[in-house]
């Protein structure tokens, strides 16, 4: 898999390596405590890219590497296009026949105009990040018959190299810093370990096509933050209510990026988790090493 030392890539590599022969690649160092098979290099170096694909001959390739900083993509849309669209196209040109190529996409391909968007709804991105990922989706689906495209929004504990939204939120709540959370920005995020386990289910079933894979519940950023504070035992007196419409951001944001994940359940029989279950798992894993974040059996129905 690519991006193996990022938030999703590291959890996915840890999860898959328990029952499968898994190899990851990244330009950054491995941060889990369990040793993993990692090839270090830059995927935009085509010599390196060709070498690792020829050496590993993957049966499945999870493409987790991406430029996900929405503001950075808006400032440099050419870089967003190069990494999020052109790079997967280069990878596809080197894959062995029959390899399942899994492209990790985003809820940001939608403009936020309707709740719980389904796979049949037409993308309408409102920023450069969303447009680059939509283009990546289209190139993958047209250029590789054995492709699985996953739209999602996930959170969790990373290497610390760069803070995720949930890690920033935890730190601000813990320190009692004044923060503003949007009451009119909705999403349905999934905890990254929950996502990794469900990606394993899809891989083992050889699923192809387009699938939305988020959490069960549609919540606002404010509700997400307040519930996290309650579960962690942090005060909320310093949390202010804001509106995404009044925010000053380089990249436009849609108001509702929630995804309908019912197709995943129909295909697998596996539930997507309720957001409070995911938040409890996030709080529990604050001091857990990467290897201890997978207590459930992948494929089990989740009652949370």
Please give the pLDDT value at position 297.
Answer: 41
Tokens 């090493």 — which residue?
Answer: 289
Interhelix angle 221-232/275-284, rounded to 10 degrees, is 40
Q: What is the C-alpha to C-alpha distance for residues 165 and 17, in angstroms, rounded to an integer?
A: 27
Residue 295 is predicted with a pLDDT of 67
CB-count exposure of residue 107 (10 Å: 0-12, 13-18, 19+): buried
Comparing CA positions, the residue from 24, 23, 139 lying closest to residue 92 is 139
Q: Of 171, 172, 214, which Cα lies nearest the Cα of 192?
A: 214
The whole-number pLDDT of residue 113 equals 87
CA dist 16 to 24, 196, 286, 298, Å? 11, 8, 21, 10
Q: Decide if 27 contacts 41 (C-beta within 8 A).
A: yes
As a dihedral over the C-alpha atoms of residue 228, residue 133, residue 257, residue 4, rounded to 10 degrees, the angle is -20
Distance CA 53, CA 45 (A): 13
**Residues facing residue 102 across a β-bridge:** 62, 148
pTM to 2 decimal places:
0.94
pLDDT at 302: 39
**Per-residue pLDDT tens digits of the chain, which is 304 residues long:** 999 999 999 999 999 999 999 999 999 999 999 999 999 999 999 999 999 999 999 999 999 999 999 999 999 999 999 999 999 999 999 999 999 999 999 999 999 889 999 999 999 999 999 999 999 999 999 999 999 999 999 999 999 898 899 999 999 999 999 999 999 999 999 999 999 999 999 999 999 999 999 999 999 999 999 999 999 999 999 999 999 988 888 888 889 999 999 999 999 999 999 999 999 999 999 999 999 999 654 333 333 3
């Amino acid at each position: 898999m690519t991006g193996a030392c990022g938030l999703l890539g590291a959890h996915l590599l840890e999860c898959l390596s328990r029952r499968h022969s898994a190899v990851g690649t990244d330009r950054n160092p491995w941060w889990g405590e369990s040793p993993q098979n990692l090839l270090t290099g830059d995927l935009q170096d085509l010599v390196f890219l060709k070498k690792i694909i020829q050496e590993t001959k993957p049966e499945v390739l999870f493409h987790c590497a991406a430029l996900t900083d929405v503001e950075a993509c808006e400032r440099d849309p050419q870089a967003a296009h190069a990494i999020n669209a052109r790079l997967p196209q280069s990878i596809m040109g080197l894959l062995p026949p029959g390899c399942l190529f899994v492209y990790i996409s985003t809820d940001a391909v939608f403009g936020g105009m309707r709740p719980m968007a389904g796979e049949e709804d037409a993308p309408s991105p409102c920023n450069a990040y969303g447009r680059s990922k939509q283009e990546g989706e289209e190139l993958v689906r047209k250029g590789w018959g054995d492709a699985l495209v996953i739209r999602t929004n996930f959170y969790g504990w990373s290497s610390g190299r760069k803070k995720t939204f949930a890690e920033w939120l935890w730190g601000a709540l813990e320190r009692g810093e004044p923060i503003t959370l949007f009451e009119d920005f909705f999403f349905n995020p999934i905890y990254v370990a929950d996502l990794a386990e469900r990606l394993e289910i899809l891989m083992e079933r050889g699923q192809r096509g387009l699938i939305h894979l988020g959490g069960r519940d549609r919540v606002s950023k404010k509700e997400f933050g307040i519930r996290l504070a309650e579960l962690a035992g942090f005060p909320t007196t310093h949390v202010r209510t804001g509106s995404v419409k009044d925010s000053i951001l380089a990249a436009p944001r849609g108001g509702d990026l929630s995804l309908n994940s019912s197709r995943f359940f129909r295909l697998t029989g596996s539930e997507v988790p309720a957001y409070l279950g995911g938040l409890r798992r996030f709080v529990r894993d604050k001091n857990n090493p990467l290897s201890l974040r997978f207590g459930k059996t992948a494929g089990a129905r989740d009652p949370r």
